[in-house]
Chain A
Amino acid sequence: MISSLLPPLLGGALIGLSASLLLLANGRVAGISGVVGSLLAPVRGDVAWRVLFLAGLLTGGLLLAWLRPGSFPAPTSLSAGGALLLVGAGLLVGFGSRLGNGCTSGHGVCGISRGSARSIAATLTFMATGVLTVFLIRHVL
C-alpha cells in the first residue's frame, strides 16, 4: 500500500522541484503547454530557454527509456482506428491547453501551488471532462 504510493509521491516531488528550479533560476512557470507551445510563435530573445527545457524533457525521456524502460507501456501495434483516436486526442490536448492557457503542469501544479482561482477552476474542469470522457468510452459506448 505505502510502497505503491512512494513512486507517485517521489515522482511528483521531483516535478515540484523542477518547477521550483525553473522559477528560481529562470523566473518562469513550468507549464509544459506554455513553455513548448510558445515556440510555435517564437519571440526574439525568448526561444533558447524554451528549446533547452524541451531538450531536457526529451533527454530525460531517453534516460528513462534506458535506465527504467518500465516507465513506458510495452510497444503495441496501432490500428487505424487507434491512430485516428490519437489524432483527435492530440488536437484537443494541444488546442485546449493553449486556449485555456495551461495544462496539468501549468494549472494543476504551478497554478494550484500559487492558489490561483483560475488554475483551480481549470484543473477541476479538465479533471471533470477527462473523467467523463473515460466514463463514456469505458462504460457507456
Chain B
Amino acid sequence: MRSNISAFLSGLLFAIGLGISGMTDPANVLGFLDLAGDWDYRLAFVMGGAIAVHAALRPFIHKRERPLFAATFPSFSASGVDRRLLVGAGLFGVGWGLGGYCPGPALASLATGATQLLVFVPAMFAGMALAQVPRARRSASAGTPVPGASPTP
C-alpha cells in the first residue's frame, strides 16, 4: 500500500517538474533540438538539474540495505552498448524530433485533452507494443521472463 502511495507521489512530482521546466510544450523541445535555428538552450538545464539532484541523492539512498517498501534495489546487467540500444535510441530521437513529445510529457499532457495527445499517445503505446511482441515471443520460447519486467534501462 505504502509503495503505491510513493509511486503515485513520484508520478505526481514528475509531472509537476515537467510542467514547470517547460517540457510539456513541444515548441520548447523543438526549439532546444533546433541547433541550426534560434537555439533555445534552456531545456539543457532541465536534464542538468534532474541529473544533479538525482546523482547527489543516489549515494545516500544506496547506503540503505534495501528500499523503504521493496526488497531490492535495481540491478543492471553488465551488457555494453549494442546495436539494439543504438537503433532504439536513434528511432526514439527521430520521433522526438518529429513531434516534440517524449513519453513523460505526452502522458502528463493528456489532461489537457488536446487532439494532439489523443493522436500521439495511442500511437506511442502501439509502438511500444510492437517493440515488445518479438521480445515476449522470444522469452516465451526461451522460458525466461520478459525483459520489460526487469528494471529499465
Contact = CB atoms under 8 A, between A and B. Distances in A.
A and B are interacting partners: yes
B108 A121 contact: no
Nearest to A69: B112
Contacts of B33: 127, 130-131, 133-134
B95 A61 contact: no
Greatest chain A CB density within 10 A among B36, B53, B70 is at B53
Contact of A38 (B102, B110, B149): B149
B72 interface: yes
A110 B94 CA distance: 21
Interface in A30-67: 30-34, 36-38, 40-41, 43, 46, 48-50, 52-65
Given A12-B46, A111-B153, A60 B108 contact: yes
B37 interface: yes
Contact of B8 (A27, A43, A56, A68): A56
B142 interface: no
Interface string B83-95: 0111111111111
A57 B21 contact: no
Interface residues on B, range: 35 or more
Interface string B6-49: 11111111111111111111110010011111000011111111
A131 B43 CA distance: 13
Contact of B128 (A40, A57, A68): A40
A95 B6 contact: no
A21 B69 CA distance: 11
- Which residue of B10, B104, B111 has the most chain A CB atoms within 10 A of its CB atom? B10
Residue picked from A89, A96, A107, A128, most chain B C-beta under 10 Å: A89
A41 B31 CA distance: 35
A93 B107 contact: no
Nearest to A22: B10
A113 to B, nearest CB: 4
Given A16-B50, A36-B107, A94-B127, 20 more contacts: A8-B22, A8-B44, A26-B10, A27-B71, A49-B4, A50-B7, A53-B10, A56-B10, A56-B13, A60-B11, A60-B14, A86-B99, A90-B106, A91-B130, A95-B88, A113-B51, A122-B89, A125-B90, A127-B33, A138-B36
